[in-house]
Amino acid sequence: MLLPIPGVLKGDELALVRSWLAQARFVDGRLSAGTAARRVKGNEEMEAGDADLERLNRVVMGNLLRHPAYRSGALPLHVASPLYSRYRPGMAYGDHLDDPVMGADGVMYRSDIAITIFLSGPQDCDGGELVIRTAFGEQVVKPAAGDGVLYPAGTIHHVNPVTRGERLAAVTWVQSMVRDPARRELLHGLNGAREKLLQSAPDAAETAQVNAAYLNLVRMWSDL
């Protein structure tokens, strides 16, 4: 499932995040890449010890974790601290798969889902599209600044070369309670119907049936 997450950051929050990134220290993005990805990775990432990292995470991740599309689509169990990436003209990230297991210092998690939050918009750079290979062909993603996209971390994807301007993004990974992406997609669709019924017909027998089906499927499929 490739799921848009609109409006993770808006207005003043987005401007604040961009102002912090303008002052941040960036290093070679290959430092965080695995052996295979290092060969095709050509970007910069915010230095792990930067003084602004904690407050960036409070704004960016705080908004993401509260977003209903994220909660419904990811069914999160563990979520990683994001990497803040920067692409300038000539930079790109070739076809790659994300590492299946991530973490450090004894805290490890399975990367079921990747999420990119776009901190710059189409007017800020030429190129820089996120391209995700799916069963229905390549999906090209370049939304408005502040929007995000959720997709299975096991899909091959790349970032097109930037030819003008600057591409800024936050990237994070999630271990879901539900490992199987097809089941997550079914649950997300069912939850959308459930929420509409709970609003429009909260006392109907059909609403109770759909609600029970959703809750018990989460219980049945959760990998805890």
pLDDT at position 115: 98
Whether 88 and 162 map to the same domain: the answer is yes
pLDDT at position 131: 98
Whether 125 and 189 map to the same domain: the answer is no
pLDDT at position 36: 81
Structural domain for 53, as ranges: 3-176
pLDDT at position 106: 77
Whether 207 and 164 map to the same domain: the answer is no
pLDDT at position 49: 85
pTM, entire model: 0.94
Secondary structure of 24-82 as H, E, C letters? CCEEEHHHHCCHHHHCCEECEEECCCCCCHHHHHHHHHHHHHHCHHHHHHHCEEEECCC
Q: Which residues contact 82 (CB under 8 A, 6 or more apart)?
A: 57, 60, 61, 117, 170, 171, 172
pLDDT at position 50: 84
pLDDT at position 175: 97
For the chain, list residues with pLDDT below 50: none
pLDDT at position 51: 84
pLDDT at position 75: 98
pLDDT at position 34: 77
CA distance 150 to 116: 7
Query: What total number of domains does the chain contain?
Result: 2
Whether 149 and 55 map to the same domain: the answer is yes
Whether 66 and 121 map to the same domain: the answer is yes
Whether 169 and 187 map to the same domain: the answer is no
Whether 134 and 58 map to the same domain: the answer is yes
Whether 186 and 164 map to the same domain: the answer is no
- Buried b / exposed e along 44-78 (16+ C-beta atoms within 10 A): bbbeeebebbeebbebbbebbeebebbebbbbbbb
Whether 206 and 169 map to the same domain: the answer is no
Whether 198 and 142 map to the same domain: the answer is no
